[in-house]
């Protein structure tokens, strides 16, 4: 349906406008209500379109337990990307790291362990000891590392999150939301796809001790390739899961369930619901020319318009043929025009109901024209 955007959009911002809006099913394509989730909060979103398919208490501040380590790993990966640390760094294990309670990978005080090994021990085995060792290496202390975590949280839009440590062990004010955890999860998958593959590793051995990944869905569903479990008495049993099937990736966040079985069961139910009743399509690519428009008093008369990022949409299954696209363009566009300037809107509707609206932008810059062009266009404008 969308092979010819100029024809489809003849009737003449994405993620800031649509981010986290719940999807609305067409009356012609009823979708059953999502499953009831027995927990303190949950969220199911599509990775590409950011459409929420199910949520409850997604903005409620909750203790994240070891879901915290998704951000810990993200910060370390950013430091690697920026060249501040490397996978080969040999990290001396401190007494504090060694003594950290809870889940551990069993590093030993006074011995050196590579950053890569510690990162895997934290991701796969959920080692609190590894988390502290990594934090101390990156920032000098866990407290300073927590400041880094909070800086990245703000940058990613995790405005209802505050981290007090790198492990997720209970601490005053150490809180996040299902929505915020989904944000850092998406950033991890998008920015570090090679490292994200570690989240699907089912077991890891260190110091002759083999431990299994606590994410039971890795054994139950071949589509699942991450992400992280968490548990404390206060937080309950939590799980962030991600799965990809037929080109569609979903992220589920389940917090505050009563058992390991419950968090796996509830997460699986959400993922099954999303894949069963919805589908995601890439409608247009970033930089694709959707149409052209007249520019007045410029060095060129025609300006190409399109989108500044890929446009994905999540809709009820078997409704793709019923999508309708249109666009509106600002009247009388005057030069100069900068590349990326918003000059209109693209609207996508399903059965007459608007489900998406995004900015239509200039795909090129056009400078002011010469004197003759200016005179010509001035006359033409007066005659309109």
Task: Flag whether pLDDT at 5 surpasses 60.
Answer: no
Tell me which of 193 and 7 has the higher pLDDT: 193
- Report how far residue 352's alpha carbon sits from residue 382's, in angstroms, rounded to the nearest whole number: 38
Task: Flag whether pLDDT at 24 surpasses 80.
Answer: no
- Report how far residue 156's alpha carbon sits from residue 158's, in angstroms, rounded to the nearest whole number: 6
Task: Flag whether pLDDT at 13 surpasses 80.
Answer: no
Strands (E), the chain: 41-46, 52-56, 90-92, 112-114, 203-206, 209-212, 224-232, 236-245, 248-257, 278-284, 289-296, 302-306, 311-316, 323-329, 333-334, 342-350, 353-362
Q: How is the chain split into domains, by residue range? A: 5-25+285-383, 41-280
Which of the residues 54, 66, 103, 166 is marked catalytic? 66
Residue 299 designated active-site:
no
Q: Please return the burial class of 377, using the count of CB atoms within 10 Å of its CB with bins 0-12, 13-18 and 19+.
A: buried
Q: What is the pTM of this model?
A: 0.89
Residue corresponding to tokens 């266009």: 377
Task: Flag whether pLDDT at 201 surpasses 60.
Answer: yes
**Mean pLDDT, rounded, for 250-257:** 98
- 335-364 pLDDT, tens digit each: 999 999 999 999 999 988 999 999 999 999
- 85-139 pLDDT, tens digit each: 999 999 999 999 999 999 999 999 999 999 999 999 999 999 999 999 999 999 9
Which pLDDT belongs to residue 66? 98
Task: Flag whether pLDDT at 60 surpasses 70.
Answer: yes
Closest alpha carbon to 325 in 281, 368, 384, 364:
281
Which of the residues 49, 55, 94, 126 is marked catalytic? 126
Instruction: Kindly report the number of other CB atoms within 10 A of residue 136's CB atom.
Output: 21
**Mean pLDDT, rounded, for 33-45:** 97
Residue 259 designated active-site:
no
Which of the residues 49, 54, 69, 166 is marked catalytic? 69
- For domain 41-280, the CATH class is alpha beta
Q: How far is CA 195 from CA 139, 204, 213, 329, in A?
A: 21, 15, 16, 42
- For domain 5-25+285-383, the CATH class is mainly beta
Do the Cβ atoms of 110 and 93 come closer than 8 Å?
yes
pLDDT band at 23 (very low <50, low <70, confident <90, very high): very low
Residue corresponding to tokens 């058992």: 259
Residue 280 Cα to chain centre, angstroms: 15
**Mean pLDDT, rounded, for 216-243:** 97
pLDDT band at 29 (very low <50, low <70, confident <90, very high): low
Residue 103 designated active-site:
no
**Mean pLDDT, rounded, for 177-192:** 98
């Amino acid at each position: 349906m969308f092979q010819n955007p100029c024809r489809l959009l003849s009737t003449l911002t994405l993620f800031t406008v649509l981010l986290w809006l719940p999807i609305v099913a067409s009356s012609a394509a009823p979708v059953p209500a999502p499953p009831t989730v027995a927990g303190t909060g949950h969220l199911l979103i599509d990775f590409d379109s950011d459409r929420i398919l199910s949520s409850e208490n997604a903005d409620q501040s909750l203790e994240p337990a070891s879901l915290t380590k998704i951000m810990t790993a993200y910060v370390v990966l950013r430091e690697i990307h920026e060249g501040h640390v490397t996978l080969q760094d040999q990290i001396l294990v401190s007494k504090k790291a060694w003594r950290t309670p809870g889940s551990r990978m069993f590093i030993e005080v006074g011995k050196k362990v590579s950053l890569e090994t510690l990162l895997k021990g934290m991701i796969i085995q959920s080692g609190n000891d590894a988390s502290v060792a990594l934090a101390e290496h990156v920032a000098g202390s866990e407290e300073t590392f927590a400041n880094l975590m909070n800086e990245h949280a703000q940058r990613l839009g995790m405005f209802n999150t505050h981290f007090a440590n790198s492990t997720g062990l209970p601490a005053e004010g150490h809180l996040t939301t299902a929505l915020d955890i989904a944000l850092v999860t998406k950033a991890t998958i998008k920015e570090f796809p090679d490292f994200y593959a570690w989240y699907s590793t089912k077991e890891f051995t260190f110091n002759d001790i083999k431990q299994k990944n606590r994410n039971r869905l890795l054994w139950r569903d071949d589509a699942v390739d991450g992400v992280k479990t968490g548990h404390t008495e206060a937080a309950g049993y939590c799980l962030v899961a991600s799965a990809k099937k037929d080109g569609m990736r979903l992220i589920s966040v389940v917090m505050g369930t009563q058992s390991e079985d419950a968090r796996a069961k509830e997460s699986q139910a959400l993922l099954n619901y999303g894949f069963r009743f919805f589908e995601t399509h890439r409608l247009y690519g970033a930089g694709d020319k959707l149409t052209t428009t007249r520019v007045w008093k410029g060095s060129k008369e025609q300006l190409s318009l399109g989108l500044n990022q890929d446009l994905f949409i999540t809709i009820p299954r078997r409704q793709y043929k019923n999508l309708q696209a249109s666009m509106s363009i600002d009247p009388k566009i005057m030069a100069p025009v900068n590349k990326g300037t918003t000059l209109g809107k693209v609207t996508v509707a399903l059965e007459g109901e608007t489900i998406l609206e995004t900015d239509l932008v200039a795909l090129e810059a056009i400078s002011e024209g010469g004197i003759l062009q200016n005179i010509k266009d001035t006359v033409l404008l007066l005659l309109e």
